[in-house]
Structure 1
Amino acid sequence: MGAPARPERCPCGSGDVLEACCGPILAGRPAPTAERLMRSRYTAFALGDEAHLLGSWHASTRPDRVEIDPELRWLRLDVLAREGGGPFDSTGTVLFEAIHRDAGGRGVLRELSRFVREDGRWYYVDGVVS
């Protein structure tokens, strides 16, 4: 018998295992905060989960599909700031940097994302990339 498999760390960088972090949100559990939804969306990009990305996108701005580049590898997520977005808020913003690598080398996506909470669920509305 070999050693037991190590639980997979969550791509969002929380330090927790996927099944105790973003896994339940990817499976349909509501995110408790805007930041947690943003982290789960980063994880969805890293894992190629188009269904979660579309399902967590507000209907007013949701595209018909999400193009996930299979050559893009997401390396790290850094949350730089947040405003609102708590369990008792109805809106919130999260400023983050997502480090990635593709055939052209390493890059950084910096975005200020807006979120809204409706019927107890957080949704991504849009973001300003800088």
Structure 2
Amino acid sequence: MPKPQLCPCTSGLSYRACCAPFHAGGEPPDPRTLVRSRYAAFALKEAAYLVRTLDAAHPDRALDATLYTRAIKDGQLRYMGLTLLDAEDVDEVGVARVLFLAKIFERGRDRSFVELSDFRHDGTGWRYLAGINVAARELPAGGAGLTIARFRQG
């Protein structure tokens, strides 16, 4: 797949200046950047990066790596935009959180969602630990302007 000029994470930067260094082996400096780089990795089908940035406790780590990679590469999703909505710094147990809106379509159907993701630093880099997501269509204004506090209230 040819690499895009603009980064799929919708930062407005070129792919080369934004997420490409992370996909090539670098470590994002914070959870917000990890969200952006993982979104771009899904859009570009960079399955190895997605596996590498999963926390050891994430259930997908137990999946067969070949099947996981094939599922990512064979996916029919179109990644249309990412909006970071809110974030919380590391808490007392070492978990940081990011709330984001991912605009995704599958064969013309809107599959967009808002997710509150948990991240933990494993000594090497930030890793995706877990997430709770809600279809954007189920939220007022599609989730735009939502905060972590309001997301938790349901």
Distance 2:14 2:108 in 1: 30
Q: Which moved more, 1:62-71 or 1:9-18?
A: 62-71
Equivalence for 1:19: 16
Q: Which moved more, 1:58-67 or 1:36-45?
A: 58-67
The SS at the match of 1:19 is: coil
- CA drift of 1:118 comes to 1.9
Equivalence for 2:30: 33
1:71 matched to 2:68? The reply is no
Q: Which moved more, 1:23-32 or 1:60-69?
A: 60-69
Equivalence for 1:3: none
Distance 1:120 1:55 in 2: 11
Q: Which has the higher helix share?
A: 2
What is the identity, as a one-letter code, of the residue corresponding to 2:84? V
- CA drift of 1:119 comes to 1.2
In the TM superposition, what are the counterparts of 1:40-119 in structure 2 within 5 Å? 40-63=37-60, 64=63, 65=65, 66=68, 67-68=71-72, 70-84=75-89, 90-119=94-123
> Gaps spanning 5+ residues in structure 1: where?
1-6
Could you say which structure has the greater relative contact order, defined with CA pairs below 8 angstroms and 6 or more residues apart? 1
Distance 2:127 2:75 in 1: 25
Pairs aligned (count)? 120
Q: Which has the higher strand share?
A: 1
Distance 2:123 2:57 in 1: 15
The answer to whether the 8 Å contact 1:113/1:125 transfers is yes
What is the identity, as a one-letter code, of the residue corresponding to 2:81? R
Task: Work out the percentage of aligned pairs sharing the same amino acid.
Answer: 37
4+ residue runs of structure 1 moved beyond 6 angstroms?
none
The SS at the match of 2:38 is: helix
Aligned with residue 123 of structure 1, among 124, 127, 132: 127
Q: For the aligned residues, what is the CA RMSD?
A: 1.6
